[in-house]
Structures are given as structure tokens and as C-alpha cells.
């Protein structure tokens, strides 16, 4: 895949927040989501308009809790895009550049920029 790191490839893969959320779920739960109520891995479905997944029994999980995305009001796709440009730009990306690229406030750009140093 030649265009693995192209913007086009990125937009195709992470075309909206739902897809980004799904991606996070797959990272956090690589072999499926375990339902504490059913006591097994079940089929969770996404709850409409909320970053929450629900088992058929009604048990819900929030994939964003405990992550840097938990309290953000910035669309998940923006974060993913920021991660994308930070990973493809060899010389590094400044917060100012993120602000310009994403069209967000400097405060938001700075918060996204800072996450680089918050990885554990």
C-alpha cells in the first residue's frame, strides 16, 4: 500500500468519529467486549449519538473512559488527524501548526499537542 500514509488514505480509513471510536474499541478489546452482566464476550452495539457501546442485556461500556479522549469535546477525528500528521511529519509538528491544520483554537491545539508527552 503505497498511499498508507497519505491524507486521502487517512480520510478513507477514519472518515468519521464513529469509525475512530470503533478503532479505539478494537485496540482496547481486541478479542471482543466482555459483558460483566452476561459474564462473557458478547456482541456490543454502538449507542446512537453517544460514545457508548451496549450489550443486548443493557450493560454499557464507554470506550473513551480512562483515555486521553475521555473529557474532550473535540471530535475524535481531529485527534486522529493530529496523531496522523504528527506521525508523518518527520521534522515534528508545532501546536501552532495543529491549530492551523485543524482549524481549532490554540488552546485545543495545545491540548492535542501535549498528548504526545502523556503516553504511558
Closest CA to 51 of 84, 28, 30, 31: 28
Q: Is 40 helix (H, G, I), strand (E, B) or coil?
A: strand
Pick the binder of Zn ion from 9, 17, 19, 59 (CB under 5 A): 59
* Total number of residues that touch Zn ion (CB under 5 A): 7
Pick the binder of Zn ion from 21, 55, 93, 98 (CB under 5 A): 55
- Any contact of residue 98 with Zn ion (CB under 5 A)? no
41: phi then psi, degrees, rounded to nearest 5? -75, 125
Contacts (CB under 5 A) with Zn ion, residues 23-42: 35, 37-38, 42
In this structure, are residues 60 and 47 in contact, taking their beta carbons and an 8 Å threshold? yes
Interface residue list for Zn ion (CB under 5 A):
35, 37-38, 42, 55, 57, 59
Amino acid at each position: 500500500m503505497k498511499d498508507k500514509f497519505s491524507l486521502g488514505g487517512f480520510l478513507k480509513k477514519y472518515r468519521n468519529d464513529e469509525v475512530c471510536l470503533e478503532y479505539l474499541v478494537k485496540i482496547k478489546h481486541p478479542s471482543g467486549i466482555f459483558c460483566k452482566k452476561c459474564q462473557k464476550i458478547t456482541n456490543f452495539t454502538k449507542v446512537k449519538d453517544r460514545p457508548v457501546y451496549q450489550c443486548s442485556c443493557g450493560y454499557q461500556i464507554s470506550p473513551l473512559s480512562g483515555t486521553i479522549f475521555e473529557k474532550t469535546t473535540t471530535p475524535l477525528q481531529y485527534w486522529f488527524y493530529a496523531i496522523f500528521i504528527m506521525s508523518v511529519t518527520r521534522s515534528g509538528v508545532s501546536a501552532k501548526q495543529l491549530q492551523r491544520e485543524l482549524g481549532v483554537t490554540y488552546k485545543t491545539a495545545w491540548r492535542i499537542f501535549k498528548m504526545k508527552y502523556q503516553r504511558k
